[in-house]
């Protein structure tokens, strides 16, 4: 058997191992059966490689350490390899294709789930530029929303400041006009035309000074309000810059953010890639479902029947021994019971004989007297 195994190439032996077959039984099958299961093993190898690459892309988004990413990817690939190998090796051909299909449904569901997990990281890698553009647009949109929220408040404060300044400037302009009118009247260049401090000059001076005092009070109030509004404006800008900094630092694209972006960018392309991976993953199962029962399946069934017969024989032997031991125990109990009964009879006879002798002696003693 070892020599026959050595006749197979190392690649064939490796692929047969990947397909989960018994090497001893496979050597008893024709060449086409070996080729079929080697093809199944090659499909499992390809699935394992794709799963490792997919896991590498996924873990590289989570971890920064290359050894951790590589180790986790290899572990993931090994787990997928073992799971695929188990699924294929446990799928058996039966006489009814319908029954065989229903038996394979749980395995097909697992294969589809594996394909779904494998495909997403690779899809993210393929659409990397589009995803980055989409996420950058999202970040810019969030930043713009923050700017709009605070800019509107800053503009409102600026408008209020401008209104206060314009109102004050209008009052100052009127004050300056009153001053010019007052000086002109006192100098005799306008109004009554009389130079000196007449009643009209004093009236206009009083009007100017009263209005100037009001303007001075309004200017003090306006300066105070402008100072408050300027501080409020500075505080608002500080809050806006702080929120923009927070948004920029927290807006990081994780693995699930990229999956969400991928679904938003191009669902059709993502679905096509997923279908390709599903076909790759279920290919070994479909191969076994679509192919007729081969020599390997027959040998496997024969081996299982022989094992079941030996198991049943062992169970029958065990049952026979148990019944035999039970009967022997019952016989032993009956013999022991008979032995004890005989001993009791002998004891009773001896006791009865002893009582008889005692009575006989008493009767003889009385007759003598």
Summarised one tens digit per residue, pLDDT across range 259-292 is 777 777 777 777 777 787 788 777 777 777 776 7
Cα dihedral 115, 41, 292, 23 in deg (nearest 10) = -140
CA distance 107 to 282: 9
Distant-in-sequence contacts of 207-213, Cβ < 8 A, 24+ apart: 207/178, 207/182, 208/175, 208/178, 208/179, 208/181, 208/182, 211/174, 211/175, 211/178, 212/175, 212/178, 212/179
pLDDT at residue 1, rounded to an integer: 46
Q: Report d(CA 190, CA 203) in Å as an integer.
A: 14
Classify residue 349 by burial, with Cβ atoms within 10 Å: 0-12, 13-18, 19+: exposed
Q: Hey, what are 46's tokens?
A: 């390809």
How is residue 112 written in tokens? 């589809």
Q: Residue 44 belongs to what H/E stretch?
A: helix 31-60
Reference 143, options 244, 252, 251; nearest CA is 244
Distance CA 37, CA 287 (A): 9
Question: What integer pLDDT is reported at residue 245 of this predicted model?
Answer: 78
CA 316-317-321 angle, to 5 degrees, is 120
| 59, 124 Cβ separation under 8 angstroms | no
> Would you state the pLDDT for residue 160?
85
CA distance 226 to 160: 9
From CA 213, how far away is CA 222, in angstroms rounded?
A: 14
How far apart are alpha carbons 190 and 4 in whole angstroms? 132
pLDDT of residue 121: 78
What's the angle, vertex CA 268, arms to CA 262 and CA 273, rounded to 5? 80
- Coil, strand, or helix at residue 319? helix
- The answer for residues whose C-beta is within 8 angstroms of residue 234's C-beta and 6 or more apart is none
User: How many Å apart are CA 122 and CA 56, to the nearest integer?
Assistant: 9
Label residue 142 exposed, middle or buried (CB < 10 Å: 0-12, 13-18, 19+): middle
CA–centroid distance for 133 within its chain: 25
Single pTM value for the model:
0.53
The two counts, helices (H) then strands (E), for the chain are: 11, 0
CA-to-CA separations, 20 to 81, 122, 364, in angstroms, rounded: 11, 27, 102
What does the pLDDT profile of the chain (369 residues) look like in tens digits? 444 455 677 888 888 888 888 888 888 888 888 888 888 888 888 888 888 888 887 788 777 788 888 898 899 888 888 888 888 887 776 556 666 677 777 777 877 887 777 777 777 777 778 877 887 787 777 777 878 878 888 888 888 888 888 888 888 888 888 777 777 767 666 766 666 566 777 777 788 778 888 888 888 888 888 888 888 888 888 888 877 777 666 665 666 777 777 777 777 777 777 787 788 777 777 777 776 777 877 787 778 778 788 878 878 787 777 887 777 777 777 777 777 777 787 777 777 777 777 777 777 776 665
pLDDT, position 119: 77
């Amino acid at each position: 058997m070892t020599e026959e195994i050595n006749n197979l190439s190392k690649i064939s032996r490796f692929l047969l191992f990947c397909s989960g077959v018994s090497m001893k039984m496979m050597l008893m099958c024709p060449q086409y059966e070996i080729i079929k299961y080697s093809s199944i093993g090659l499909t499992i190898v390809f699935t394992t490689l794709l799963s490792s690459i997919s896991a590498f892309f996924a873990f590289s988004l989570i971890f920064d350490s290359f050894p951790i990413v590589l180790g986790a990817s290899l572990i993931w690939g090994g787990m997928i390899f073992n799971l695929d190998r188990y699924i294929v090796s446990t799928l058996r051909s039966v006489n009814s294709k319908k029954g065989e299909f229903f038996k394979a449904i749980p395995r097909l569901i697992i294969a589809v789930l594996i394909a779904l997990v494998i495909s997403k990281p690779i899809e993210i890698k393929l659409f990397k530029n589009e995803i980055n553009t989409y996420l950058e647009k999202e970040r810019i949109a969030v930043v713009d929303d923050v700017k709009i929220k605070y800019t509107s408040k800053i503009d409102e404060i600026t408008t209020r400041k401008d209104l206060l300044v314009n109102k004050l400037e209008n009052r100052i302009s009127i004050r300056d006009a009153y001053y010019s009118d007052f000086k002109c009247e006192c100098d005799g260049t306008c109004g009554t035309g009389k130079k000196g401090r007449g009643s009209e000059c004093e009236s206009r001076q009083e009007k100017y000074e009263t209005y100037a005092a009001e303007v001075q009070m309004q200017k003090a109030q306006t300066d105070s309000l402008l100072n408050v509004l300027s501080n409020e404006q500075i505080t608002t800008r500080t809050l806006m810059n702080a929120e923009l900094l927070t948004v920029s630092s927290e807006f990081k694209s994780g693995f699930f953010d990229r999956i969400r972006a991928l679904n938003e960018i191009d669902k059709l392309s993502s679905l096509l890639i997923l279908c390709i991976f599903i076909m790759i993953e279920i290919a070994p199962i479909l191969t076994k479902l679509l192919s007729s029962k081969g020599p390997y399946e027959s040998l496997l069934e024969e081996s299982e029947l022989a094992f079941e017969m030996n198991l049943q024989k062992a169970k029958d032997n065990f049952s026979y021994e148990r019944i035999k031991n039970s009967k022997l125990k019952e016989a032993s109990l009956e013999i022991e019971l008979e032995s004890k009964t005989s001993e009791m009879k002998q004891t009773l006879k001896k006791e009865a004989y002893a009582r008889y002798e005692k009575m006989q002696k008493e009767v003889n003693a009385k007759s003598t007297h």
